[in-house]
């Protein structure tokens, strides 16, 4: 039987994209399709979230002619020379990174993405689908929406006066915003919880207890952190990073124009005041956000989309 090998970097720190590669392999194996995450270093495994995903290393795989390789967008430049003749699927989880391996020769991107070995291109958002179609019109693309793990990220009614934030990509913006809020001193006892290098389970616990989440999404195809925060019932304020436009809706969140720090601070103060004036109304908004995310980005929908796609080649 065909085996699906999913190429993955050995990056050990929290990364939504890597987690999704692991989940991809889990879905295939649970449905009777043999699959492995392929790491460079023998014995390497991501450990910031609980998993028992099937792992193998480059030196141990023996790729047969009927097998399938799935490569993230960062590995696309290797396509012409990597196991020639073997079917390949590009799993592009961030269109902003598509051309990065090809800056010296952008035409090489067309060679890679239109290579005869490439049987499918996967994207994770409507934004990416449009971007990839502009770059490489006409070839075979599928949209597989990112899913939210509803077992970990779900509505929690008992909120604290906590503002959760994950600002690692835009620390300067957060520092400016944090200083401005301290200067104004108008957030009525709310404290910040900066999420950094936590496990997935620890992150979920913080989000379920937090009333507000500040999004610093930047050049994102989707943006897992704000979506996970919404699933937990947080009031999300901040940047959609482009790919997050599809779920940053005005009725369930507060989008902020990129780097409008004064506007960002005003909105946080406004939301804190709304919590003080009418907590039930704000909690209802959090419940609506949670319901929207879990209905539209469920694990069952992602699983169905992955299986429908892969069974065309198995």
Q: What pLDDT sits at residue 103? A: 87
Task: Report, in angstroms and rounded to the nearest whole number, the Rg of the chain calculated over CA atoms.
Answer: 21
| Confidence band for 26, pLDDT divided at 50, 70 and 90 | very high
How many percent of the chain have pLDDT more than 70? 100
pLDDT of residue 168: 86
**CATH numbers and ranges of domains, the chain:** 4-147+299-310 (3.40.50.2000), 160-296 (3.40.50.2000)
Output the six-digit token pair for 288: 């609506």
Question: Does the pLDDT of residue 139 top 80, yes or no?
Answer: no
pLDDT computed for residue 160 by the predictor? 96
The predicted-structure confidence for 34-56, as pLDDT tens digits, reads as follows 999 999 999 999 999 999 999 99
pLDDT digits (tens, 9 = 90+) for 143-200: 999 999 999 999 998 899 999 999 988 999 999 999 999 999 999 899 999 999 899 9
Which residues, other chains included, contact 238 with Cβ-Cβ below 8 Å and sequence gap of 6+?
213, 214, 215, 216, 217, 226, 254, 255, 256, 264
Task: List, in order, residues 6 or more apart from 172 with CB less than 8 Å away.
Answer: none
Instruction: Give the per-residue pLDDT at 197.
Output: 84
Q: Give residue 208's pLDDT band: very low, low, confident or very high (50, 70, 90).
A: very high
Helices (H), 67-135: 107-113, 126-135
Q: Is the pLDDT of residue 1 over 90?
A: no
Q: Tell me the average pLDDT across 73-99.
A: 96
pLDDT for residue 229: 98
Q: Is 80 exceeded by the pLDDT of residue 206?
A: yes
- At 169 the pLDDT is 84
Query: How many percent of the chain have pLDDT more than 90?
Result: 93
Whether the Cβ atoms of residue 230 and residue 247 lie closer than 8 Å to each other: yes
3-state secondary structure of 204: helix
Please, are residues 72 and 91 in contact by the beta-carbon 8 Å criterion? yes
β-sheet bridge partners, residue 236: 213, 253
- Decide if 122 contacts 91 (C-beta within 8 A): yes
Model confidence band, residue 98 (pLDDT cutoffs 50, 70, 90): very high
Please state, rounded to an integer, the average pLDDT across all residues of the chain: 95
Q: What average pLDDT score do residues 84-90 get?
A: 97
Rounded to whole angstroms, the Cα distance separating 107 from 104 reads: 9
Q: pTM for the whole thing?
A: 0.93
**H-helix segments, the chain:** 16-30, 107-113, 126-135, 171-184, 200-209, 224-231, 261-277, 279-296, 299-310
């Amino acid at each position: 039987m065909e085996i699906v090998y999913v190429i993955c970097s050995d990056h050990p720190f929290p990364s939504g994209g890597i987690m999704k590669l692991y989940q991809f392999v889990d879905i295939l194996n649970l449905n009777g399709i043999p699959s492995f995450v392929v790491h460079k270093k023998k014995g390497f495994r991501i450990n910031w979230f609980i998993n028992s995903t099937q792992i193998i290393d480059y030196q141990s795989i023996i790729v047969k002619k009927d097998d399938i390789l799935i490569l993230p967008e960062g590995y696309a430049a290797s396509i012409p020379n990597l196991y020639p003749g073997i079917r390949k699927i590009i799993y592009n989880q961030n269109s902003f990174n598509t051309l990065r391996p090809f800056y010296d020769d952008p035409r090489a991107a067309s060679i890679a993405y239109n290579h005869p070995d490439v049987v499918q291109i996967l994207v994770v958002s409507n934004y990416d689908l449009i971007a990839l179609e502009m770059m490489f019109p006409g070839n075979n693309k599928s949209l597989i929406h990112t899913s939210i793990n509803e077992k970990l990220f779900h509505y929690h009614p008992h909120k604290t006066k906590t503002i959760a934030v994950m600002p690692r990509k835009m620390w300067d913006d957060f520092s400016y915003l944090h200083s401005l809020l301290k200067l104004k001193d108008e957030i009525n006892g709310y404290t910040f919880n900066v999420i950094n290098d936590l496990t997935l389970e620890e992150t979920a616990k913080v989000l379920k207890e937090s009333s507000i989440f500040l999004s610093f999404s930047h050049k994102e195809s989707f943006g897992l952190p704000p979506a996970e925060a919404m699933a937990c019932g947080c009031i999300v304020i901040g940047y959609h990073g482009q790919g997050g436009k599809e779920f940053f809706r005005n009725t369930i969140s507060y989008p902020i124009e990129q780097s409008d720090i004064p506007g960002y601070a005003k909105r946080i103060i406004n939301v804190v005041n709304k919590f003080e004036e009418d907590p039930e109304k704000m909690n209802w908004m959090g419940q609506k956000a949670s319901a929207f995310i879990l209905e539209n980005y469920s694990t069952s929908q992602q699983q169905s989309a992955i299986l429908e796609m892969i069974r065309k080649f198995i």
